[in-house]
């Protein structure tokens, strides 16, 4: 049988009781847990390594029901994960799949800015935030916030590594600002009051060209592999191609991943000389091994609407490059790491920045729809909205190699945290990561006078606070056959 995955994955909790007329007489308190166990037993990548997911785990229906009633839903889910926090630090569960489906289309409720949280000094729990980038026409943009702005307080309370989640999780907040001078952090009297709104982010953030030392350098800031923006990504590549670029700097420093297919499309756009050769290979668990598949370098791509329903095709633009420069940080994850790893057997990939996140696995969204093998919300149990995002596959490149689980170490390390006293806009040729890439392309000491002005360590980012922030998923329409 064929059944479709709906707007999957790559990454909150509940203790709720729901009725389900099709739960074979299970009490209401166990109905959601029945869905969790059966779907995990079928799809979870490490199913064979989890004793409680073994096919012969229960000797009777009564024992199974007792087990389901013994735990809250979120507790059961996390107890079923293999080596949770280490091997599997990626699987997650949500109480409302409608919010999850929106997230796959890039629709979230936010202030409209991505930020990093940094320790305010050594041997301290205090933090400060810095704005990484701001979305246009967002609350942050309308308030005048911009990349490099520093904030130290929320609603008058100093940020720490103990209260950051509570303070930043509010729908409305007043940000108390600060600044860095001569390597020291100071508070200012400036404040910005922001309220979260629903925003759809276009991941194609910026595209520029620079003419330097005989090179026409293309620069593309791409912040998420979103299938509903495939055509806009292709248009950005077409524009760079039309400007006759000789080199490409791909800025993925804030790209936490997304669609496997979009990653393969971007690989095809960067190259063009490897049509129908293997880009990446996906491996599922033994029960679902019939779904093991290979994505190819392509000449044609698919477009999707905001519901991630396929609605057209496009001809992929090719740059036919033999070398690409990629800017990375610890935010660069999953489908971003896939792109780097899967291009390496074919062309030279030079990475600049800091070590990537380290995620070689992906997930699908599992709904309470057993007749569709839990992979679609078209026939979902109407009595609750729980859904899961467990790891179900691993990727490797054409040489059967995956990215290191500790992340991809850059060819040249440049840490933007060390430049926060004067963090330049993305696309400014003096911005440290971009400047380093230009120096490598032009074989010069371009802007050699740029030097670090702050020694600090990153704590977390807004992306890492969102379970969806490092997801890797399969687009709607991928057929599964367990």
Structural domain boundaries enclosing 426? 204-363+392-450+466-480
Indicate whether 415 belongs to any domain: yes
Q: Is the overall model pTM greater than 0.85, yes or no?
A: yes
CB burial readout 69-98, b (16+ within 10 A) else e: eebebbebbbebbbeeeeebbbbbbbbebe
Same domain as 237, residue 296: yes
Residues 342 and 195 placed together within one structural domain of the fold: no
Each residue's pLDDT expressed in tens, for the chain with a length of 482 residues: 333 333 333 332 222 333 333 444 455 457 899 999 999 999 999 999 999 999 999 999 999 999 999 999 999 999 999 999 999 999 999 999 988 888 877 788 999 999 999 999 888 999 999 999 999 999 999 999 999 999 999 999 999 999 999 999 999 999 999 999 999 999 999 999 999 999 999 999 999 999 999 999 999 999 999 999 999 999 999 999 999 999 999 999 999 999 999 999 999 999 999 999 999 999 999 999 999 999 999 999 999 999 888 999 999 999 999 999 999 999 999 999 999 999 999 999 999 999 999 999 999 999 999 999 999 888 999 999 999 999 999 999 999 999 999 999 999 999 999 999 999 999 999 999 999 999 999 987 766 556 677 888 999 999 888 877 788 888 765 666 66
Q: Are residues 217 and 138 in the same domain?
A: no
Report the candidate in 152, 155, 131, 153 with the shortest Cα–Cα distance to residue 143: 131
Residue 209 CA to residue 240 CA, distance in Å, equals 7
Q: What is the CATH number of the domain that holds 120?
A: 2.30.42.10
Closest CA to 347 of 407, 409, 277: 277
In a domain, residue 32? The reply is no
Question: What's the half-sphere exposure (Cβ side, CA atoms, 13 Å) at 343?
Answer: 28
Same domain, 402 and 277: yes
Distance (Å, whole) CA 165 – CA 175: 14
Where would I find the H helices in 344-389?
none
* Domain boundary residue, one of 182, 200, 218: 200
Quick check: helix, strand or coil at residue 33? helix
Residue 143 and residue 209 in one domain: no
Domains held by the chain: number = 2
Do residue 444 and residue 299 come from a single domain?
Answer: yes
User: d(Cα 148, Cα 219) in Å, to the nearest integer?
Assistant: 20
Which of 155, 174, 200 lies at the terminal end of a domain, its last residue?
Answer: 200
270, 156: one domain: no
Same domain, residue pair 226 and 180: no
Cα dihedral 204→266→311→476 (10° resolution): -100
Q: How far is CA 129 from CA 159, 380, 405, 443, 464, in A?
A: 8, 41, 27, 35, 14
Q: Are residues 143 and 271 in the same domain?
A: no
Q: Is 289 part of a structural domain of the chain?
A: yes
End position of a domain, from candidates 200, 227, 243: 200
Q: Are residues 432 and 351 in the same domain?
A: yes
Residues 188 and 208 in one domain: no
- CATH assignment of the domain containing 294: 3.90.226.10
3-state secondary structure of 148: coil
Residue count of the chain, please give it. Answer: 482
Burial of 441 (0-12, 13-18, 19+ CB in 10 A): buried
- Distance CA(360)–CA(375), nearest Å, equals 21
Q: Which two tokens stand for residue 150?
A: 């520093």
Q: Please check whether residue 435 lies inside any domain of the structure.
A: yes
- Do 189 and 249 sit in the same domain of this protein? no
> For residue 87, is it within any domain?
no
- Is position 34 within any domain? no
The answer to whether residue 329 is domain-embedded is yes
**Quick check: is 124 in a domain?**
yes
């Amino acid at each position: 049988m064929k059944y479709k995955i709906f707007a999957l994955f790559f990454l909150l909790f509940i203790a709720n009781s729901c009725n389900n007329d099709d739960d074979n007489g299970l009490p209401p308190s166990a109905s959601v847990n029945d869905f969790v166990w059966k779907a995990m037993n079928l799809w979870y990548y490490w199913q064979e390594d989890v004793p409680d997911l073994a096919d012969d785990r229960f000797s009777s229906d009564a024992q199974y029901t007792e087990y389901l009633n013994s735990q809250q839903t979120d507790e059961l889910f996390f107890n079923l994960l293999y080596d949770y926090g280490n091997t599997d630090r990626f699987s997650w569960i949500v109480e409302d799949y409608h919010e999850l489906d929106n997230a796959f289309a890039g629709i979230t409720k936010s202030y409209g800015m991505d930020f990093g949280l940094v320790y305010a000094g050594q041997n301290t729990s205090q933090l400060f935030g810095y704005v990484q980038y701001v979305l246009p026409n967002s609350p942050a943009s309308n308030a005048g916030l911009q990349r490099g702005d520093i904030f130290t307080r929320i609603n008058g309370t100093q940020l720490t590594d103990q209260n950051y989640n509570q303070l930043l999780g509010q729908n409305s907040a007043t940000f108390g600002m600060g600044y860095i001078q001569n390597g020291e952090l100071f508070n200012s009297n400036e404040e910005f009051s922001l309220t979260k709104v629903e925003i759809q982010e276009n991941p194609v953030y910026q595209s520029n060209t620079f003419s330097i030392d005989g090179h026409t350098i293309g620069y593309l800031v791409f912040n998420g592999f979103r299938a509903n923006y495939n055509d806009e990504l292709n248009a950005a590549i077409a524009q760079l191609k039309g400007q006759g670029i000789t080199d490409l700097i791909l800025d993925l420093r804030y790209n936490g991943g997304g669609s496997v297919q979009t990653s393969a499309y971007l690989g095809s756009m960067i190259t063009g000389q490897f049509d129908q050769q293997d880009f990446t290979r996906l491996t599922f668990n033994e029960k679902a091994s019939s779904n093991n598949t290979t994505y190819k370098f392509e000449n044609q791509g698919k477009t999707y609407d905001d519901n991630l329903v396929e609605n057209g095709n496009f001809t992929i633009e090719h740059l036919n490059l033999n070398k690409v420069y990629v800017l990375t940080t610890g935010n660069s994850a999953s489908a971003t790491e896939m792109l780097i790893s899967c291009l390496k057997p074919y062309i030279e990939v030079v990475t600049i920045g800091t070590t990537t996140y380290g995620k070689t696995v992906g997930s699908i969204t599992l709904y309470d729809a057993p007749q569709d093998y839990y992979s679609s919300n078209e026939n979902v149990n109407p009595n609750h909205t729980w859904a899961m995002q467990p790891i179900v596959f691993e990727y490797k490149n054409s040489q059967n190699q995956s990215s290191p689980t500790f992340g991809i170490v850059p060819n040249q390390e440049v840490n933007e945290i060390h430049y926060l006293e004067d963090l330049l806009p993305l696309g400014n040729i003096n911005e440290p990561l971009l400047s380093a890439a230009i120096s490598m392309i032009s074989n010069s000491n371009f802007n050699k006078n740029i030097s670090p002005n702050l020694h600090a360590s990153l704590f977390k980012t807004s992306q890492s606070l969102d379970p969806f922030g490092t997801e890797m998923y399969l687009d709607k329409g991928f057929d599964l056959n367990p």
